[in-house]
């Protein structure tokens, strides 16, 4: 089920209900079906390709989020319209963010 996710330096693994999409050496998307949580991690590499892998994964697995950039800042927009800023209130950027998989909670299959 990963034909739509880029193949260059990208691997998809699944074990014990956890799916990981790795780009180079970073698990850029982790889908934990046990807890219904999604973790996105750019590993310090805020590149177009990292963002693309995240969005391709969301599309392929029906996760209901998209990652976009505005004025050099990254954001995640979820299926319900909520927008999560990657930077905290002080402007500090974290490598990863975790949020509930709303698509799964709405009884969509992942």
Residue 60 in any domain: the answer is: yes
pLDDT tens for 45-104 read 889 999 999 999 999 999 989 999 998 888 999 888 889 888 765 555 667 777 777 776
Overall number of domains in the chain: 1
pLDDT tens for 12-40 read 999 999 999 999 999 999 999 998 899 99
Residue 1 in any domain: the answer is: no
Residue 70 in any domain: the answer is: yes
Residue 89 is part of which domain span? Answer: 10-105
Residue 5 in any domain: the answer is: no
Residue 20 in any domain: the answer is: yes
Residue 4 in any domain: the answer is: no
What's the angle, vertex CA 16, arms to CA 29 and CA 6, rounded to 5? 30
First CA to last CA distance, the chain: 10
Residue 101 in any domain: the answer is: yes
Residue 2 in any domain: the answer is: no
């Amino acid at each position: 089920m990963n034909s739509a996710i880029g193949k260059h330096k990208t691997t998809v693994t699944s074990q014990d209900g956890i799916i990981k999409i790795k780009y180079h050496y970073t698990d850029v998307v982790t889908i934990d079906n046990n807890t219904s949580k999604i973790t996105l991690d750019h590993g310090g590499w805020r590149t177009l390709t990292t963002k693309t892998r995240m969005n391709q994964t969301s599309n392929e697995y029906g996760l209901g989020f998209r990652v976009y950039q505005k004025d050099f800042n990254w954001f995640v927009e979820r299926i319900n319209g909520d927008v999560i800023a990657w930077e905290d209130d002080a402007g500090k950027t974290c490598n990863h963010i975790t949020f509930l998989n709303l698509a799964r909670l709405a009884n969509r299959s992942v």
